[in-house]
Amino acid sequence: MASAVIEVDDLVKVYSGGTRAVDGITFRIEPGELFGFLGPNGAGKTTTIRILATLLRATSGRARLAGFDVETQAADVRRSLGLAMQTPTLDAFATGRENIELIGRLHRVRGAELKRRADELLELMGLTDVARKLAGTYSGGMRRRLDLACALVHRPQVLILDEPTEGLDPQSRLALWEELERISRDGTTMLLTTHYMEEADRLCRRLAIIDNGRIVIEGSPAELKAGVGADTLILQLDARDPEDLARQQDDVRRVLIGFESMEALTPEGFGVSLAVRDAGRAIPELMRRLDRNGAGVHVVGLKIGQPSLDDVFLKYTGRRIRSEAANEPIILGW
């Protein structure tokens, strides 16, 4: 097997204020992989990325990108790297084309090749019509795409994207996902961070859930979800009043005694929620039991919930990912 494109070994970053933003992270990304960091804001994703992009010095540990050490071979790392940060960073007073061409020039893409590459990327990102307009006039989605075009101009071996769809409307997000999938199919190794479960689920072949500066668990989305174990079955009950609801919930519990697929039953305001293995197969048996012995149970709705990455996050950290959103601290000068 070829050696890893990104190799991170026990990376630690302690900021001068004493915050341990990254607390011993180790991972490998193989050539051509699309690898994701999933975690709430403040988990240490951006700090790790900044170290990999040679923008920040690690406190300890080792990181290699494309075979080069980020500390001692920064120039080689930068040559191999395409980077798009959390908010698109563009020169607002330069046109779309000028933005791409400048970054290309700094990467020593020159002359006819630079022009061809800029044309190609503008076309790819759907920006040909606005190529001569100032980037400052672009919409959020267009800025993202232009930023991505800048990151791709020198055909980097590795593409690092920090929250690539943050702040996009659903349509633009979907379009960008398709774009990222296409880039990945072309063989570019990608590392992206996200706090959107759907994004990690859809895009990443492999991902690491990161929390408080540590990797909590790593695997493919399917593996991680399988690790949660059970599916969730939601039975909605039609009850007259709370006593009636309680009675029906007891009936359900009684009816389901000995139902072997079931792992847990939780009474809820709407009825009951069941943790079952392989919900699809369990449903017929569940219905048969309710039909035979559940005369007093009025089921008005049945919903299968497959475990989401949110459940994975919950299982390993004890918290939901969404509620953790805390914005980056504002750095105050004078």
Partner 1 sequence: MISAFFYESFYLGLRTLRRFFRVPANWIGIILFPLIQLCVFSQLFKDIIQLPGFRASGSGSYLAYLAPGQIAFTAFFAVAWSGSAILVEYRNGYMDKLRATPIHRLSILAGELAPLFIESAIMAGGILVLSVILGASIKTGVVGALLILVLSGLFGMAWAGTSFVPALLTKSEQATGTLSLLFLPVAFMSTAFVPPSLMPAWLQTVNAWNPITFLIEAIRPLMVSGYDWGAIGKALLAIGVMGAVLQTATLWAFRRLTA
Q: Contact positions toward partner 1, by CB under 8 A?
A: 50, 53-55, 75-76, 78-79, 81, 83, 85-87, 89-91, 93-94, 98, 102-103, 105-108, 134, 150, 331, 333-334
Closest CA to 328 of 41, 16, 20: 41
| Least distance from partner 1 to the Cβ atom of residue 135, Å | 11
| Least distance from partner 1 to the Cβ atom of residue 286, Å | 53
| Least distance from partner 1 to the Cβ atom of residue 207, Å | 23
Q: Phi and psi (nearest 5°) for 145?
A: -70, -40
| Least distance from partner 1 to the Cβ atom of residue 147, Å | 8
Helices (H), the chain: 45-52, 74-79, 96-106, 111-124, 140-152, 170-185, 197-203, 221-228, 242-255, 279-293, 309-317
Give CA–CA dist 153/121, Å, rounded.
Answer: 7
| Residue with smaller CB distance to partner 1, 103 or 122 | 103
| Residue with smaller CB distance to partner 1, 189 or 261 | 189
Which amino acid is residue 247, in one-letter code? Answer: R
| Least distance from partner 1 to the Cβ atom of residue 55, Å | 5
* Parallel, antiparallel or unpaired: strands 34-38 and 206-211: parallel
Q: Write the burial class of residue 247 (CB in 10 Å: 0-12 exposed, 13-18 middle, 19+ buried).
A: middle
| Residue with smaller CB distance to partner 1, 135 or 217 | 135
| Residue with smaller CB distance to partner 1, 25 or 90 | 90
| Residue with smaller CB distance to partner 1, 64 or 214 | 64
Sheet strand arrangement including 299-305: 262-268, 271-276, 231-237, 299-305
| Least distance from partner 1 to the Cβ atom of residue 305, Å | 39
Extract long-range pairs of 64-72: CB within 8 Å, 24+ residues apart.
64/4, 64/6, 64/7, 64/8, 65/5, 65/6, 65/7, 65/158, 66/5, 66/157, 66/158, 67/3
| Least distance from partner 1 to the Cβ atom of residue 52, Å | 10
| Residue with smaller CB distance to partner 1, 7 or 98 | 98
Mapping DSSP to helix (H, G, I), strand (E, B) and coil, where does residue 9 land? Answer: strand
| Residue with smaller CB distance to partner 1, 105 or 320 | 105
| Residue with smaller CB distance to partner 1, 138 or 313 | 138
CA dihedral 151, 130, 193, 14 (to 10 degrees): 70
| Least distance from partner 1 to the Cβ atom of residue 89, Å | 4
Instruction: Give the residues across from 305 on adjacent strands.
Output: 232
